[in-house]
Amino acid sequence: MTLGFIGAGRIGRPMIGRLVAAGHQVNVLDRSDAARDAVAALGAVPVDDVAAVARGAQAVLLCPYSDTQVREIAVDGDLLDHMDPGTLVVVHTTGSPLTATAIAERGRAKDIEVVDAPISGGPHDIEAGAVTLFTGATEAGLERARPVLSAYGDPIVHLGPTGAGQQVKLINNAVFAANIGILAEAVRLAGELGLDEGAVLRGITSGSGSSRALGGAAHAGSIAAFGQAVGEFVGKDVAVVKQVAAQLGVDLGVMDGPHRVLADLLLPEHRALLLADASA
C-alpha cells in the first residue's frame, strides 16, 4: 500500500521501519532534518508538506507528539482536503476521543474512515511487532486498516466505534500512573519497616501484587528512578486524562490520590504537567 505518515519521532520512527519492511511505500512528513535523514535511511520517502503526504495515499497515519498537533493537522488543517475519497486516517497519538470523532465528522463527506489506535508499549515493542493497539473504528474500517496496523501491532484490540480506543487508552494510562503512586506508598511503608527497597520490589514482582509498573520499577532499582525515567510521558498522559475527564464531565475518583503521590517522584517540569488544573 501507499501510505502517508506524519510524526517520525520516538514512536513513529520504528513504525515506519516496520511498514517499509512489510513492503509498503511510506511518504513521511517531519520538519526535523535528523528525522528526515533517519526515515530515508529506513527506505521511506521524506516529503515537504501535507499535500505530498496525502497524495496517492490509501491511508495516512498520524503520530505527532500531542493531541493539539493532531487537531492542527486533521481538524483545523487541510489534510483531509488533500486525501482521496474512500481512504483511511489512523490516529496513533494518545489524546482526546473528541479529536478522533471530530476528524471522523470532517471525513464523512469524502467517505474517509478514521481509526483511532493509540498504543500501549514502547519503541522496543514496536520494533518486535508486538505493541498493543487500542482501536476505535467500525468493523469495516478496522479490517481495511489491519494490513497496515499488523506490521507492528499485536494484539490489535477493537474496543468500539471511533473514539473508544482513546477512551480505553486514557483509562489504561490513569491506572498505570496510579500503580506507580501506590508502589511509592508501598516503598514508604517498606522503609518504615526497615526493609531494603530493591529487595521489596523484586519480591513483590514474584507475587500477586505484580504489575507492569512494578516490573519497570524493579528493573530500574527504585521507584524514584522509575518515576523519573517515565515522568515526561506519564506526566503528559495524566494531564490528557484529566483534561478529557473534565471535558466529558467525569472524574478520576480515588485514582487522583495515587497520582498526587506519583507527582512527588517527578522532575519539576513533569510534576507541573501532572498537577495542572484541567479546567484552566
- Supply the residues annotated as catalytic: 169
129: helix, strand or coil: coil
State the Cα angle at 228 between 222 and 233, rounded to 5°.
130
Half-sphere exposure of 86 (CA within 13 A, CB side): 1
Strand partners, 29: 6, 47
Q: Are 20 and 61 in contact (CB under 8 A)?
A: no
> Residue 23: how many CA atoms within 13 Å on its side-chain side?
3
Question: Which grid cell sits at 54?
Answer: 496525502
* CA distance to 70, 94, 134, 157, per residue, from 102 (Å): 11, 15, 18, 22
Nearest alpha-carbon partner for 107 in 92, 90, 91, 85? 85
C-alpha cell at 2: 501507499
- Tell me whether the omega of the peptide bond preceding residue 155 falls within 30 degrees of 0, making it cis: yes
Cα distance between residue 166 and residue 169, in whole Å: 5
d(CA 107, CA 120): 26
Grid cell locating 266 = 517527578
Residues in the chain: 280
